[in-house]
Structure 1
Amino acid sequence: MIQFDPLTYPYPSQRTATYARNGMVATSQPLAAQAGLEILKRGGNAIDAAIATAACLTVVEPTSNGIGGDAFALVWTKGELHGLNASGPAPKSISIEAVKQLGHDKIPTYGWIPVTVPGAPSAWAALSERFGKLPLTEVLRPAIEYAENGYPLSPTLGKYWELAYNKFTKAFDGAEFENWFATFAPKGRAPRIGEIWKSPEHAKTLRSIAETKAESFYRGELAEKIDAFAKQHGGFLSKEDLAAYSPKWVKPISVHYKGYDVWEIPPNGQGLVALMALNILKGYDFAAKELTETYHKQIEAMKLAFIDGLKYITQADKMSVTVEGLLSDTYAASRRALIGDEALQPEPGEPARSGTVYLATADGEGNMVSFIQSNYMGFGSGIVIPGTGIAMQNRGHNFSLDPSHDNRLEAGKQTYHTIIPGFLTKDGKPVGPFGVMGGFMQPQGHVQVAMNLIDFELNPQAALDAPRWQWIEGKTVELEPHFPEHIALHLARKGHDIKRPLGSGGFGRGQVIVRDENGVLSGGTDFRTDGAVAAW
Structure 2
Amino acid sequence: MNRSAAGKEAMVVSPHALASQAGAETLRRGGNAFDAAVAVSACLAVVYPHMTGLGGDAFWLTYSGADRAVRAYNASGRSAGLASRQAFDGESGIPLRGIRSAITVPGMADGWEAVQREYGRLSLAEALEPAIRCASHGFPLSPDQARNTAERFELLRGTAITSEIFVPEGVPPRQGERFLQRQLADTLRKLAAGGRDAFYKGEIARSISVFMEKNGGLLRAEDFADHAGEWTEPVRGSYRGLELFQVPPNSQGFTGIMIPQMLESFDLSGIEHGSYEYVHLLVEAAKMAFRDRDRVLTDPAFADIPVGALVSADYCAELAASIDLRRASPSVSRPVGSDTAYAAVVDGEGNAVSFIQSLYFEFGSGVTAGDTGILLQNRGSFFSLDPSHVNALKPRKRTFHTLMPAMACREGKPYILYGTQGGEGQPQTQSALLTRMVDYGLDPQAAIDAPRWVWGRTWGAKTQELKLEARFGADVAMALASAGHEVRTVGAFDGIVGHAQAILIGDDGTRYGGADPRADGGCAGW
TM bracket, shorter-chain basis: over 0.9
* 1:208 matched residue in structure 2: 190
Q: C-alpha displacement at 1:156, in angstroms?
A: 2.2
- CA distance in 2: counterparts of 1:347 and 1:146, whole angstroms: 42
- CA distance in 2: counterparts of 1:501 and 1:234, whole angstroms: 40
* 2:416 matched residue in structure 1: 432
- CA distance in 2: counterparts of 1:388 and 1:302, whole angstroms: 40
- 1:220-258 deviations in Å (ceiling 9; x for gaps): 000100110111012111110100011110111121111
1:347-358 mapped onto 2 (5 Å cutoff): 355-358=339-342
Q: Retained in 2: the 8 A contact 1:16–1:462? A: no
Q: Does residue 485 in structure 1 map to residue 478 in structure 2?
A: no
Q: C-alpha displacement at 1:320, in angstroms?
A: 4.6
- CA distance in 1: counterparts of 2:87 and 2:300, whole angstroms: 24
- CA distance in 2: counterparts of 1:217 and 1:181, whole angstroms: 24
Q: Retained in 2: the 8 A contact 1:307–1:346? A: yes
* 1:499 matched residue in structure 2: 488
* 1:251 matched residue in structure 2: 233
* 2:214 matched residue in structure 1: 232
CA separation of 1:530 and 1:475: change in aligned 2, threshold 3 A:
closer
**Pairing partner for 1:329 from 297, 303, 313:** 313
Corresponding letter in the other structure for 1:46: A
The range that moved more, 222-231 or 490-499, is: 490-499
The range that moved more, 124-133 or 304-313, is: 304-313
What is the SS of the residue equivalent to 2:360?
coil
Q: Does residue 98 in structure 1 map to residue 108 in structure 2?
A: no
* 2:101 matched residue in structure 1: 114
Q: Retained in 1: the 8 A contact 2:156–2:166? A: no
**Pairing partner for 1:55 from 35, 42, 52:** 42
1:160-309 mapped onto 2 (5 Å cutoff): 160-169=148-157, 172=158, 177-287=159-269, 288-289=271-272, 291-309=275-293
* 2:441 matched residue in structure 1: 457
Structure 1 unaligned regions, length at least 5: 1-14, 349-354
* 2:323 matched residue in structure 1: 339
Corresponding letter in the other structure for 2:280: H
Q: Retained in 2: the 8 A contact 1:69–1:393? A: yes
- CA distance in 1: counterparts of 2:125 and 2:246, whole angstroms: 30
- CA distance in 1: counterparts of 2:255 and 2:88, whole angstroms: 29
CA separation of 1:221 and 1:112: change in aligned 2, threshold 3 A:
same
- CA distance in 2: counterparts of 1:139 and 1:127, whole angstroms: 12
* 2:142 matched residue in structure 1: 154
Q: C-alpha displacement at 1:275, in angstroms?
A: 1.5
What is the SS of the residue equivalent to 1:391?
coil
- CA distance in 2: counterparts of 1:421 and 1:269, whole angstroms: 10
What is the TM-score when the length of structure 2 is the normalising length? 0.93
Corresponding letter in the other structure for 1:431: Y
Q: Does residue 508 in structure 1 map to residue 498 in structure 2?
A: yes
* 1:5 matched residue in structure 2: none
Q: C-alpha displacement at 1:113, in angstroms?
A: 2.3
What is the SS of the residue equivalent to 2:248?
coil
What is the SS of the residue equivalent to 1:319?
coil
What is the SS of the residue equivalent to 1:314?
coil
- 1:303-345 deviations in Å (ceiling 9; x for gaps): 1111221221111233354101211233223322221121111
Corresponding letter in the other structure for 1:127: V
1:82-93 mapped onto 2 (5 Å cutoff): 82-93=71-82
What is the SS of the residue equivalent to 2:100?
coil
- CA distance in 2: counterparts of 1:136 and 1:338, whole angstroms: 50
**Pairing partner for 2:117 from 124, 129, 138:** 129
What is the SS of the residue equivalent to 1:522?
strand
What is the SS of the residue equivalent to 1:271?
coil
Corresponding letter in the other structure for 2:201: R
Q: Does residue 65 in structure 1 map to residue 49 in structure 2?
A: no
What is the SS of the residue equivalent to 1:390?
coil
- CA distance in 2: counterparts of 1:337 and 1:519, whole angstroms: 38
What is the SS of the residue equivalent to 2:400?
coil
Q: C-alpha displacement at 1:475, in angstroms?
A: 6.0
Aligned residues between the structures: 508
Corresponding letter in the other structure for 2:34: I
* 2:5 matched residue in structure 1: 18
Q: Retained in 2: the 8 A contact 1:26–1:512? A: yes
- CA distance in 1: counterparts of 2:145 and 2:14, whole angstroms: 13
Percent of matched pairs sharing the same residue: 39
Corresponding letter in the other structure for 2:122: L
- 1:177-200 deviations in Å (ceiling 9; x for gaps): 221111211111222111011111
* 1:526 matched residue in structure 2: 516
- CA distance in 2: counterparts of 1:289 and 1:283, whole angstroms: 16
Q: C-alpha displacement at 1:38, in angstroms?
A: 0.4
What is the SS of the residue equivalent to 1:360?
strand
Q: C-alpha displacement at 1:154, in angstroms?
A: 2.1
- 1:398-437 deviations in Å (ceiling 9; x for gaps): 1111111111111111000111111110122210311111
Corresponding letter in the other structure for 1:161: T
The range that moved more, 425-434 or 30-39, is: 425-434
What is the TM-score when the length of structure 1 is the normalising length? 0.92
CA separation of 1:16 and 1:394: change in aligned 2, threshold 3 A:
closer
Q: Retained in 2: the 8 A contact 1:17–1:459? A: no
Q: Retained in 2: the 8 A contact 1:377–1:439? A: no
Q: Retained in 2: the 8 A contact 1:27–1:532? A: yes
